[in-house]
Amino acid sequence: MSPILPAPSGNLHNEMLGIWWLLSRTDWTQEGQLRIDPILGRDPVGILSYATTHFAAQFSRRDRAVQASVSNSKASQNNTAALDGYDAYFGTYEVNESTGIVAHTLIGSVVPSNVGLTVFRDLRVQNDQLTIQLTTTSAHEESIIRTLVWKRMLNF
């Protein structure tokens, strides 16, 4: 099941600055069933960076190099589309310190239809670990909670 996030610290903007490496990415249904993303797979790799007003994110299916082709996804509720086992985008963000919700507005993306989207993420930082949660839909249009856990690689 997805972890319950602690209360926001009130200092999220400063805590999230830096470069982060993806440790895990899991999708759970409301009934507690694990779902595997067919595009990025069970254990994708990823890197995320937050500067003062801008961010960049990249995700790749771990076994992408040995695959001939992976079907493309479409943007789902509160989420981006990926292309051939890869998703990358960048843009600006705004932090709501009282809720811990971060609005990410995409300026550029590997998938053109993602450009201009604003997606919302619930973020918490504890020590050198960043947890991001979002509500979205699976490839089969089920409501899911996605949880991403990151470790800090560099602090700004």
Residues 33-78 pLDDT 10s: 999 988 899 999 999 999 999 999 999 999 887 654 555 666 678 8
Domains and their CATH numbers in the chain: 12-154 (2.40.128.280)
Q: Are 152 and 128 in contact (CB under 8 A)?
A: yes
The CA angle 63-49-45, to the nearest 5 degrees, is 10
DSSP state of 72: P
Query: Residue 68 has what pLDDT?
Result: 46
Please state whether 147 falls in left (phi above 0), alpha (psi between -120 and 50) or beta.
Answer: beta
pLDDT-derived band at 2 (thresholds 50, 70, 90) equals: confident
Which residue shows structure tokens 């989420």?
79
